[in-house]
Amino acid sequence: MEEFLTTNGSTIIVGAIVFGALIFVLVRTIRNYRQGRSACGCSGCNKCTAQTTKTNK
């Protein structure tokens, strides 16, 4: 087991960092969607095709 960790330790660490970043982005996107914010960062003008509407209150 110790040999496996020393051989693959850097790969495991990088994989954990990438996985953490993915989870962060997904959680942030879901929160923004639920709050009615758009993903593109626009101010929510009427002509914006990326504007989301909040249907569940």
Q: Examine the pLDDT at 57 and tell me if it is beyond 60.
A: no
Q: Which of 37, 40, 29 is nearest to 54 (CA)?
A: 37
Each residue's pLDDT tens digit, 14-27: 999 999 999 999 99
Contacts of 29 (CB under 8 A, 6+ apart): 39
Both tokens of residue 14? 């990088």
Average pLDDT over residues 10-15: 97
CA 13 to CA 9: how far, in whole Å?
6
- Compute CA 45 distance to the chain's CA centroid, rounded to the nearest angstrom: 24
DSSP string, 37-51: --SS-----TT-TT-
The pLDDT value given to residue 24: 97
Most confident residue range from 20-29, 34-43, 46-55: 20-29
For residue 36, name the pLDDT band (cuts at 50, 70, 90).
Answer: confident
The pLDDT value given to residue 10: 96
